[in-house]
Amino acid sequence: MTLEQPSDADRAQASEANLAKMWKFVENFSQKSGTFLHPQREITEFLVIGLAKHIEEVGRPLCPCNFYVDKAEEAKRSTWSCPCEEMQKWKYCH
């Protein structure tokens, strides 16, 4: 199975600074915590883009794999801020 690569338009959804910040975060977190990133790097890149976009929208890296009725309210609760509860429990990010 092949997955479409993230495009420049996908990457343009977030600033380069936040993309770099989230790449550093996910790579460092996985190394320090013993968690695993997805073996298909493009899936991890889509995740990083979503995290960076949420930082710009609500100031927190909400998991982009979920739907939020109110992102700002969810950001206050932090249940789904990266690393979300599922990642901490299963040690694997989508």
Question: The CATH number of the domain where 25 resides is what?
Answer: 3.90.460.10
Following DSSP, what letter does each residue of 46-58 receive, concatenated?
HHHHHHHHHHHHH
Report the alpha-carbon distance of residue 25 to residue 46 in Å, rounded.
Answer: 15
What is the band of 23 on the pLDDT scale with cuts at 50, 70, 90? very high
Angle at 82 (CA atoms; ends 65, 89), nearest 5 degrees = 85
Catalytic residues: 65
pLDDT tens digit string along 66-93? 898 999 999 898 778 787 777 777 777 7
Answer whether residue 4 is part of any domain: no
For residue 3, being part of any structural domain is answered with: no
pLDDT at 83: 78
Domain hosting residue 73, numbered range = 12-90
